[in-house]
């Protein structure tokens, strides 16, 4: 049986233990009700009065998470065994759709001993999470919605009425009663506008303050994205693709999203297959000085455009970026990238480019790697490996050397420890 720290809240009695530790301070949302089973890929949505206090209780039992992302409306903790979300309030972009005081007065223990919200509140929060935040109707909540209208209809209608007004509340209740959810995705946008306007009219100063705080927090996450950017460097045959595949597998239970990029800043789409492997990296002549300067300057502009655009956004919201090679690689092997300008310009571009949080450098004895792939002569491979080691030393704590001579599983374990700062990887010399 796995230790409690490895199975987390999935361990027998773990949920009950957390509830007892936070008695009166926690409620399990849409948890094992109306067919909403907790699958291996599911996260935990927990309403809490004090996120800091709840976080201390959680970490006291399960250790430090891999990653913590604190937002105005939720604090997300990502463990190796799963994701736990603490909701201190019920807001959309700073606009409150359910009063926390009203919510907490109705929290009661369920038949399993876990504290749960009132049925109407549970269904309402589930629906608003989809309609307001996602702009989509969650079909899996339809059973919960119908039960709420049937068994707790007055409170459910009151919640809708406060958010959207009497006419729309009545229409939405009727839709639930009739099971008519067609077109709800299209209705979501108009509901957002109505809801935001009603919040502003009902409590203008409080709403403006909450909205400002919300966007200030989100801006901070875009300036310093909480989800890390990892770059992998190493010669052909060092096992970069295997490490990326292994990291993807390790990350699945955590629910941390992953985007991949190769050299440039454009992330691969889901299911997109990388290009054909390079079999002759030095087969073409380098470009001239002017063209090389222009190409690297354009690459720098592209990276910054992505950093403040799509790449920065998904790293702020939901996913880490794993780059198979990065600009540092050009400094080690300029011929591969047909770079014909001097090293001074490359160093300047290196200082101007956005930087990964961790650079994983795969090295091993040259003969070991050359036995896997012979794209370059052994002498050139030895030169590259020496340059990779020098680069790792120059990068300091940002870089982690990985021993590519080990098995794929062991290298992935080294990479995992290096990414999360759990251990320093010792790599033998090149001899």
Same domain, 200 and 250: no
Which residue, 400, 347, 76, is CA-closest to 230?
Answer: 400
Same domain, 40 and 126: yes
In this structure, are residues 140 and 104 in contact, taking their beta carbons and an 8 Å threshold?
A: no
Residue 431 in any domain: the answer is no
pLDDT tens over the chain, length 431 residues? 345 556 899 998 999 999 999 999 999 999 999 888 877 778 999 999 999 999 999 999 999 999 999 999 999 999 999 999 999 999 999 999 999 999 999 999 998 899 999 999 999 999 999 999 989 998 999 999 999 999 999 999 999 999 999 999 999 999 999 999 999 999 999 999 999 999 999 999 999 999 999 999 999 999 999 999 999 999 999 999 999 999 999 999 999 999 999 988 988 776 665 666 677 788 889 999 999 999 999 999 999 999 999 999 999 999 999 999 999 999 999 999 999 999 999 999 999 999 999 999 999 999 999 999 988 999 999 999 999 999 999 999 999 999 999 999 999 999 999 999 854 444 444 54
Residue 429 in any domain: the answer is no
d(CA 316, CA 324): 20
Same domain, 342 and 411: yes
Residue 426 in any domain: the answer is no
Residue with tokens 């961790």: 358
Residue 87 in any domain: the answer is yes
Instruction: Look up the CATH number of the domain holding residue 287.
Output: 3.40.50.300
d(CA 384, CA 196): 58
Q: Which of 205, 221, 237 is the last residue of a domain?
A: 221
Same domain, 156 and 240: no
Which tokens sit at 321?
């970026």
Output the pLDDT for position 278.
72
Same domain, 255 and 340: yes
Same domain, 189 and 267: no
Residue 229 phi/psi, 5° resolution? -115, 120
Same domain, 146 and 274: no
Q: Which of 191, 221, 251 is the last residue of a domain?
A: 221
pTM, 2 dp: 0.92
Structural domain harbouring 143: 4-221
* Maximal C-alpha separation, the chain: 79
Same domain, 217 and 233: no
Residue 430 in any domain: the answer is no
Same domain, 266 and 161: no
Same domain, 249 and 120: no
Residue 425 in any domain: the answer is no
Output the pLDDT for position 172.
97
Q: Which of 202, 221, 240 is the last residue of a domain?
A: 221
Output the pLDDT for position 205.
97
Three-state SS letters, 24-35: CCEEECCCCCCC
Which tokens sit at 257?
């999203």
Same domain, 166 and 290: no
Same domain, 63 and 114: yes
Residue 361 phi/psi, 5° resolution? -110, 115
Residue 428 in any domain: the answer is no
- What is the count of structural domains for the chain? 2
Which residue, 41, 47, 179, is CA-closest to 108?
Answer: 47
């Amino acid at each position: 049986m796995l230790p409690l720290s490895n199975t987390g809240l999935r361990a027998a009695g773990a949920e009950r233990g957390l509830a007892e530790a936070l008695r009166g301070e926690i409620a399990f949302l849409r948890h094992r009700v109306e067919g909403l089973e907790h699958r291996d890929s599911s996260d935990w949505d927990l309403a809490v009065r004090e996120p800091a206090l709840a976080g201390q209780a959680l970490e006291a039992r399960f250790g430090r998470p891999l990653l913590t992302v604190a937002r105005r409306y939720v604090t997300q903790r990502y463990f190796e065994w799963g994701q736990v979300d603490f909701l201190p309030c019920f807001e959309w972009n700073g606009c409150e759709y359910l009063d926390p005081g009203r919510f907490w007065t109705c929290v009661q223990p369920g038949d399993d001993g876990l504290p749960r919200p009132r049925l109407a509140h549970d269904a309402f929060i589930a629906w608003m999470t989809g309609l307001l935040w996602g702009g989509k109707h969650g079909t899996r909540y339809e059973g919960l919605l119908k039960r709420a209208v049937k068994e707790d209809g007055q409170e459910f209608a009151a919640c809708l009425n406060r958010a959207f007004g009497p006419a729309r509340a009545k229409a939405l209740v009727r839709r639930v009663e009739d099971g008519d959810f067609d077109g709800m995705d299209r209705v979501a946008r108009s509901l957002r506008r109505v809801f935001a306007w009603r919040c502003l009219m009902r409590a203008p100063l409080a709403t403006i303050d909450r909205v400002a705080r919300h966007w200030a927090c989100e801006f901070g996450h875009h300036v310093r994205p909480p989800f890390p950017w990892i770059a992998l460097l190493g010669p052909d045959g060092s096992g970069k693709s295997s490490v990326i595949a292994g990291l993807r597998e390790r990350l699945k239970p955590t629910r941390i999203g992953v985007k991949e990029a190769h050299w440039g800043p454009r992330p691969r789409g889901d299911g997109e297959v990388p290009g054909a492997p390079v079999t002759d990296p030095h087969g073409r002549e380098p470009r001239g000085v002017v063209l090389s300067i222009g190409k690297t300057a354009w690459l720098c502009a592209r990276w910054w455009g992505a950093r403040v655009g799509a790449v920065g956004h998904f790293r702020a919201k939901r996913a880490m970026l794993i780059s198979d090679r990065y600009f540092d690689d050009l400094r080690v092997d300029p011929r591969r990238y047909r770079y014909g300008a001097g090293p001074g310009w490359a160093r300047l571009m290196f200082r101007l480019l956005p930087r990964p949080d961790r650079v994983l450098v795969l090295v091993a004895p040259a003969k070991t790697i050359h036995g896997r792939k012979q794209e370059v002569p052994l002498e050139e491979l030895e030169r590259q490996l020496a340059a990779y080691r020098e680069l790792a030393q120059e990068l300091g704590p940002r870089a982690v050397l990985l021993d590519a001579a080990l098995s794929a599983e062991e290298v992935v374990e080294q990479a995992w420890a290096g990414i999360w700062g759990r251990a320093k990887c010792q790599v033998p010399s090149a001899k």
